Chain A
Amino acid sequence: MQPAFVLHRWPFQDSSYMVEMFSAQHGRYRLIAKGARRPKSRWRACLQPFTPLLISSRGRHELQTLVEAEACGDAYGLKGDSLYSGFYINELLQRLTVLYQPLDGLFEDYQQTLQLLSENSAVEPILRRFEWQLLEHLGHQFDWLADSAGDAVTATSYYQFSPQIGFVRQPGPATNTFSGQIILQLSQFDLTETQLLQAMKRIMRMALQPYLGDQPLRSRQLFHSLIQTKDS
């Protein structure tokens, strides 16, 4: 049995689910949970996102069959914004990781992120942290302390962020530049002020964009409509 999380599931045939799993051993992969939609199935309660599972599956092909699954420990009782954030990090994993490609340490980071989401109502710093961790695991990280020319970032200069390249030094401040001061604070993961949080959000969004492609993130759209509902 190996530890795993459900990322998403779809109804499959009359009484089964196709489940997208995430585990330390296999990374993201898919399997069929036969009979899991039957009223008496013992998997109904546990085959849900955000529940730590122990599972075993069999099959030599890409699409495996679930043999056994049980919950190990409590589900992270995500509520409200934390729950929507959970969907967001699941979608990020779905969109950015490759099937059957385990990445060292990503599983632990994911688990820790769920833990943090279940304990905190301020979700933004947690999400930014996970986005950066994911970029690192995928090998898409960039340098916070040096600019694209290799010179050290200085507090008094201004920089533009360019995805896949990093920070590019600019002659002066403009609408899309970040001050060196902010970049240096962010390099320490200092997200204590709104201004820093907003800068981090902008940088992460730009950094993720080339790997996400043209399709918008669906959980992000849900977040948007939620904010509109609360504000209007």
Chain B
Amino acid sequence: MKLSPAIQELIQALRVLPGVGPKSAQRMAFQILERQREGGVRLAQALLYATEHVGHCQRCRTLTEAPVCGICLHPKRSDSGLLCIVETPADVIAIEQTGQYHGMYFVLMGHLSPLDGIGPEDIGLDILAKRLAGEAISEIILATNPTVEGEATAYYIADIARKHGINTSRIAHGVPVGGELEYVDQATLGHAFSGRKNF
């Protein structure tokens, strides 16, 4: 059976979401049209509002509809002098959930990738350099991913920080809590050994 153009379009549109193929898109479309009309309208409005209004925080580049995000506006956090550098807004959420960190963030929205032509300006390092020059920051915590691109990004930022005389640290890589050494890959285990602590 051929679906009407409106339904067809809805199914196509839903497929922009990650992990949604033709079958799940069809299920979602019918769920909205058969049982969740109100929810569908809400979704449409929320989508429209968010895509139109959400931009980047002027200070940390995370996603927000305000000019400056809530974390950057928090007075205690800006007084802490700590700046944590992460690749994505999802990383900010992950770190916030640990409850261990009470400083500021800077979100790169990616990483340096020389072979893809992603350079320092593309990940906002010019903005970061201005912040380092203008603000009282005592320590930079490099929390980019432990991939080669993440490492390259970390080294690059460490160089900028050194120029401004700011202390830099890198998050540790190690064995996951509740994990068994036998099943940990050798690169991680190697890092865990070279980064061991006094006990």
Contact = CB atoms under 8 A, between A and B. Distances in A.
Interface of A: 7-8, 10, 14, 42, 45-46, 48-51, 71, 74-75, 78-80, 83-84, 86-88, 90-91, 94, 218-219, 221-222, 225-226, 229-230, 232
A62 B160 CA distance: 43
A90 B155 CA distance: 19
Interface string B143-174: 00001100110011001100100000000000
Nearest to B17: A14
Contacts of B116: 8, 10, 218
B115 A90 contact: yes
A222 B155 CA distance: 12
B85 interface: no
List the 10 closest A-B pairs by CB distance, nearest first. A219-B114, A45-B185, A87-B114, A222-B114, A218-B117, A8-B115, A80-B155, A49-B148, A45-B187, A14-B19
A45 B114 contact: no
B152 A84 contact: yes
- Interface residue SS majority, chain B: helix
Contact of B155 (A8, A45, A51, A79): A79
User: Max chain A CB contacts within 10 Å: which of B114, B116, B117?
Assistant: B114
Contacts of B151: 79, 83
19 contacts: A7-B115, A8-B116, A14-B19, A45-B188, A71-B185, A71-B187, A74-B190, A78-B148, A79-B151, A83-B152, A84-B152, A86-B148, A218-B116, A218-B117, A219-B115, A221-B114, A229-B129, A229-B163, A232-B163
B39 interface: no
B155 A83 contact: yes
B157 to A, nearest CB: 10
Contact of B159 (A10, A218, A230): A230
Nearest to B129: A229
A225 B159 contact: no
A14 B21 CA distance: 10
A232 B190 CA distance: 36
A46 B163 contact: no
A48 B151 CA distance: 12
Contact of A74 (B112, B119, B147, B186): B186
Given A42-B185, A71-B185, A225-B119, A50 B114 contact: no
B178 interface: no
B187 A46 contact: yes
